[in-house]
Amino acid sequence: MTEFARGVLAVVRADRAGTVLVSREPITGLQIAAGHPIGKWHGDPRNRDAWRRLLQMQSKWPHRIVFPEGQDFYDVEYRHQGEPVEGLGAAHLMDGLGVSLPVEPCWDADHVTLEREQLLEGEDGTYRSDTSEVRVRHLSSSAHYEVHGPWVRDGAEAARKGGLAAVRHGGHLWERRADLFPRLQFLPEVEAHLRQLPPVWVQPVRDRLAELEEAVSAWDPDTRPIAPQWRSDVRTEFESRRRLCWFTDLDGEQRLFDWHCDFLPSPGRMHFRLLHEQRTLRIAYVGRKLGV
């Protein structure tokens, strides 16, 4: 428990503003081991300072309370060695750092491999179960902080400087679009879409926009008359769904914005149309998959 506390407190020292300890239940009720409540640890005068600092850090429980409003993620489950691991799954979904007491050898690791099972909807409206392996950042001792310290410090520094990596809510994407994505165009309605983005979608949307920006910046319509060389999976909509992809363009005319890309967690989607003569694209929609 002492090593665990040292690791967690090293993170908060590096990024006090961006760190919060989230657990399944209040840590005051934690059982370190069978018959060994946490009170036996924090009752030791040597541990009282660390205990007070842990209490100051923890402001949220259970894990699901940190999910963005309207997102429950009941369509995805994470398991480790066959056992459900809600906390580590939440850390992966929120691009965070999972923490565990090192009560078993498997938790003495700076990364943990999880099995993720997710219910996915196909283009034809049917559902299927998809299982994959994912890795989540993990910490159970101060030694693991040495591995993750650069990531923690880089995030804190980026937030201080205000670069692309510092974007932490959708409003930043809209307000700084001219600086971050100078070659992309947006319909006015996209402002509301970005400002209302759930936190879990901010980084994926940021990354998709950066990839689109990179693609159009290198696009020569004379040599690639159909579309740029995309940096991720970008495609046009199926004929049966194109009726959903008409939006009012800047000149007041209805036009088809059927080019799209996805972002996780599903069903995130972004719709746009290409403007070959301007060597760019215009984004009309960012949010849940249309019609879902």
Contacting residues for 41 by C-beta, under 8 A, at least 6 apart = 1, 2, 32, 47, 51
R_g (Cα) of the chain, nearest Å? 22
- pLDDT tens for 88-128 read 998 988 888 999 988 899 999 999 999 999 887 666 667 78
User: What per-residue confidence (pLDDT) applies to 291?
Assistant: 85
Q: Which two structure tokens, joined as six digits, stand for 210? A: 């950066």
What does DSSP say about strands 184-186 and 280-288: parallel, antiparallel, or unpaired? Answer: parallel
Q: How far apart are CA 25 and CA 206, in angstroms?
A: 32
Confidence of residue 59 (pLDDT cuts 50, 70, 90): low
The pair of structure tokens assigned to 240 is 């049966």
Pairwise pLDDT comparison (159 vs 208), residue with the higher score? 208
Distance CA 284, CA 261 (A): 12
Residue whose structure tokens are 């219910």 = 119
What is the pTM assigned to this prediction?
Answer: 0.62
Q: What is the pLDDT of residues 183-215, one digit of tens each?
A: 999 999 999 999 999 888 888 899 899 999 999
pLDDT at 211: 93
Tell me the three state secondary structure of residue 32: strand
Query: What is the arithmetic mean of pLDDT over 279-286?
Result: 97
